[in-house]
Amino acid sequence: MINAKKIIKHSLLATLIGTSSLAMAAEPLKVGVAISVFDDNFLTALRTGMQTYADDINVELQVEDAKAEVGNQLNQIQNFIASGVDAIIVNPVDTDATISMSDDAAAAGIPLVYVNRQPINVDMLPDNQAFVASNEEDSGTLQTQEVCRLLGGKGKVVVMMGELSNQAAIQRTKDIHDVIATPECAGLEVVAEQTAKWSRTEGSDLMTNWISAGIEFDAVIANNDEMAIGAVQALKATGRTMDSVVIAGIDATPDALAAIRAGEIDVTVFQDAAGQGKGAVDTAIKLVNGEKIEQKVWVPFELVTPANFEKYMR
């Protein structure tokens, strides 16, 4: 009897031959996975969730680290195609470079799934390609609405942006300004806004520069938790108390949740890394089997505060 979790490459075969013969012929799907960079807490959780789920359902993943280089990632995708993988999953280094990736996979007839970072061609994907992520229109919105509530609708804000080549950084920053444009939050003023490239170290350096420049602010809104934690480190180094400033991030990483417990971060937004990884693998399987899918698969964001953070500690 076949293990119910076994993934069969060609589902049509199951209707043509007996179960015992099928069990002997079955082999795992082979999926190439190109991750933008391994050295990132959230993407590590994404990759780990993807691998754990793939192992459970007997899908073979070949996972490559692009080391934040577009050229590396394009080469990895070409190598996946040349090796004859059944599907490709990509977390893009540069979301502006995805047209070429889509074209290459489409020419080879190999299903492709983008995960976490929205490709620039998301509304023009071929039928055998899809995008799995959380809707970034919600992320910065939830984050900034909570900052607005904590500040009573008025105060000075500094914004730490992610990589400017990344759609998530662009959208999350837009979300911030959209919330501030609403009547209830119009008393918020952005007094400084600059990229810290998703990095804890660069977040700390940027905050140090702002402090040295004499910029006064009541809140830090960061496009991700790593930059928020960097801001906390720099503020603590200058002696500023954490109850005198509101700190907001996105992702609800374990380090951010620990910072909430310590009273250092006030709000983050849970982005389900494991859920996105599982969704990407599931979508790739469906595409290989020729199933009809939604080309945009959303995994919801959730607001995380000191009142509910323990729910996410797992």
All domains of the chain in start order, with CATH = 11-134+273-299 (3.40.50.2300), 136-270 (3.40.50.2300)
Inform me whether the pLDDT recorded for 69 exceeds 90: yes
If you average pLDDT over residues 130-150, what whole number do you get?
97
Q: pLDDT tier at 26 (50, 70, 90 boundaries)?
A: low
Q: What is the mean pLDDT of the chain?
A: 91
Q: pLDDT tier at 16 (50, 70, 90 boundaries)?
A: very low
pLDDT of 229-276, one tens digit each?
999 999 999 999 999 999 999 999 999 999 999 999 999 999 899 999
Enumerate residues 6+ apart whose C-beta is below 8 A from 154: 187, 188
What's residue 22's pLDDT?
31
Find the helix or strand (DSSP H, E) in which 65 lies. strand 60-65
Q: Is 201 helix (H, G, I), strand (E, B) or coil?
A: helix
pLDDT of 178-206, one tens digit each?
999 999 999 999 999 999 999 999 999 99
Inform me whether the pLDDT recorded for 134 exceeds 90: yes
Q: pLDDT tier at 301 (50, 70, 90 boundaries)?
A: very high
Q: pLDDT tier at 170 (50, 70, 90 boundaries)?
A: very high
Would you list the DSSP string of 78-120? HHHHHHT-SEEEE--S-GGGHHHHHHHHHHHT--EEEESS--T
**This prediction's pTM:** 0.75
> Cα Rg for the chain, rounded, in angstroms?
22
What's residue 73's pLDDT?
97
Query: In the chain, pLDDT over 70 holds for what percent of residues?
Result: 91
Which residue bears the tokens 């015992």?
20
What's residue 10's pLDDT?
42
If you average pLDDT over residues 278-307, what whole number do you get?
96
Q: pLDDT tier at 150 (50, 70, 90 boundaries)?
A: very high
